[in-house]
Amino acid sequence: MSNPLLRLLFPLLLLLLPPPLRDTYFSASHRPKDAGCSGELHPVVLVPGQSCNDLEARLTEAYKPSAPRCGAMKGNEWFGLWKNVSDLAAHDYVDCFVEQMRLVYDPAINDYRNLPGVETRVLNFGSARGFRDKDPLYPKRCVDSIREALEIVGYRDGDTLFGAPYDWRYAPPVPGQQSQVYSCYFKQFKSLVEAASKKHHKKVIIFGHSYGGMVVVLEFVRNAPLAWRNKYINHLILVAPVLSAGFLQQARTIASGPADFGYVGATQSSIRTMWRSFETGTVDLPSPKVFGHKPLVITKQRNYSAYDMEDFLVAIGFSDGVQPFRRRMVPKMRYFKAPMVPITCINGVGIRTAEQLVYWESDYYDSSQN
């Protein structure tokens, strides 16, 4: 392992220690002696988790609001959509937010797009300071600690340290699938990596947290030509790239709605409709290759294994999700190509995860049953 990589992993691993120990071992007297020598540092690109990315929207004349107040911004400039979401309730904009965040699946091209008349864009691509968590209770959950630790050892935003936020409503494609959104994103990401590498004459380290590592980083690398990977990528570092509550969390969320969006000010049931429209809503449902025929969802009428996810979607009242799941998600479940670059994966241990979900009365909208 090269010295620059050791210097990178040093602060990353220290972040796993309890704060008192971390502060002791990462005091000024314990920092690497060559901290600040940017010429010896491999450029780093940070890819955050889902909730960290800022989205702006613009409403065109094609937008048909469900309520007059939802069209108040029609014809105006860009405004924050997934940005200051804790203020939505105060402005009576929760229902409008849910509507304007929705995606539409187009079976003719087997791809997702925004609601007609809604244009969106991701802010601050390229900056490691360009994303933040939307939950005011967790202001530093978006790799802030990682960024701060890297800055201590000499990394600088826009020079050796970069960020690659993305539109988390979409799921990156596997080779052979179309994705207009990720086609553009992958081009941006590729250009960012190449520019950083050429500027410093070093390969790039890509750091992905949570969804950013599990899907965005991994799929970007696996979609890139092997010769390009060998030329530009020094290392992948994935931190918590799998669902912390287990893969049944996604089945529970698609059935009952996300339980961790309380700060938006919307009910779980209203968020459920929005969530089901996202491509990411079904991206991590249990794979038959891993879970086999074991019953995962238990009801009085029948049980559902990983082989029965299409029937499960119908049972929860989401039959519209069957076709996109079959055409876009099932191929992902069958795609096991390795990234073929050096990789470090850091996961938590001792975390309790669900083995089965029980909806005995088939009340899928009641998340308290399991």
The tens place of each residue's pLDDT in the chain, 370 residues long, gives: 444 544 555 555 555 444 554 454 444 444 544 444 556 789 999 999 888 899 999 999 999 999 999 999 998 999 988 876 667 777 788 899 999 999 999 999 999 999 999 999 999 999 999 888 777 677 677 888 888 888 988 899 999 999 999 999 999 998 889 999 999 999 999 999 999 999 999 999 999 998 898 777 788 998 899 999 999 999 999 988 887 778 899 999 999 888 777 667 677 777 899 999 999 999 889 999 999 999 999 999 999 999 999 999 999 999 999 999 999 999 999 888 889 999 988 887 888 888 999 998 877 766 545 5
Which 3 state secondary structure label does DSSP give 114? Answer: strand
Gyration radius from the chain CA atoms: 21
15 plus 144 within the same structural domain: yes
| Tally of domains within the chain | 2
Instruction: Note whether residue 164 is domain-resident.
Output: yes
Instruction: Note whether residue 110 is domain-resident.
Output: yes
- Determine the structural domain holding residue 154 and report its residue range: 3-51+123-241
181 plus 227 within the same structural domain: yes
Name the residue with tokens 């968020």. 271
Q: How many angstroms from the chain centroid is the CA of residue 144? A: 16
Among candidate residues 97, 122, 147, the one where a domain is terminated: 122
- pTM for this structure? 0.87
CATH number at residue 21: 3.40.50.1820
Instruction: Note whether residue 64 is domain-resident.
Output: yes
DSSP string, 304-340: E-GGGHHHHHHHTT-GGGHHHIIIIIHHHHT------
Token code pair at residue 362: 């088939």
